Amino acid sequence: MPRLLSPFGPGASPRRPAPRRAAIALACALAVALPTASQAAPSPAADAPVMISQPIRVSVNAMQLAPFDPATALSVRVMDDSPANLRLLDWVRRSLIARGYRIGGDDAPLILDIDTVASNAPARPNADRSVLGLRGQAGTGQDEDSVDVTVRLFSNRQGSVIGGDVDAPPASLGQPDLRIDAGLTERASGRRVWQGWASVTAPTLGLEDQGLVLADPLIAEFGKATRAKILTLPAGTLNRP
């Protein structure tokens, strides 16, 4: 009977596949060794300070709409659970506690809602591309109405016959302006009893740090009536309350 040769060579034995548990162990080891995206780029810690490179101005306004007991426990809410808002929530809570206010649970009798709004200055108007100009004037009697027609021959800033069309200038946006709106509401009645807002224009700070800069000045006016109070924060390190 002819001898059958092994495909692995003379005298070789077939190689058995690795056990399934070995592959699972290898996958687990790689999962532990490789950092996730969130681990590679962590958000700033809640207690990280804000570095202010130059003095900035903060404006604060507040209105007391109805009396409330400052000893009443309150809960603080932000728009979402993003890292920036959770960090702002932490700074606001600490500012309240430092001033003697009591933070309660989600069912506290008072609710303080915190919202942030970022905006820019409007852009420049579009360039005047018209070559013809019309101007009308209505009179009070017969044959007193008149219409003037003008032709713009040359202009380097507007549309004209010789100068040609003029492109619109690039939009000019102001520096980011951040505002924090705060409103205190009675849970049982739904009545708003206090509201305040603070704004800052700080081109050297990111929006998240701008919100932290506003937290303590706004809470300093909590429960009060304040009109256009201007504060100047010096350059330096602003620590968490």
- Could you tell me the residue ranges of all domains in the chain? 49-119+175-238
Q: Report which residue type is found at 86.
A: L
Average pLDDT, the chain: 73
> Given this model, what pLDDT does residue 157 score?
52
- The answer to whether residues 118 and 176 touch, using CB atoms and an 8 Å cutoff, is yes
Compute and round to an integer the Cα radius of gyration of the chain.
Answer: 33
d(CA 180, CA 199): 6
- State the pLDDT at residue 120: 60
Look up residue 60 and give its two tokens. Answer: 């604060």
Q: Which residues, given as ranges, of the chain have pLDDT below 70?
A: 1-46, 120-176
List the structure tokens of 197.
């807002």
Q: pTM score > 0.75 for this model? A: no
Rounded Cα gap, residues 210 and 82, in angstroms: 16
CATH number of 49-119+175-238: 3.30.160.670
- To which H or E segment does residue 95 belong? helix 83-98
Residue ranges with strand state E in 120-176:
132-137, 146-151
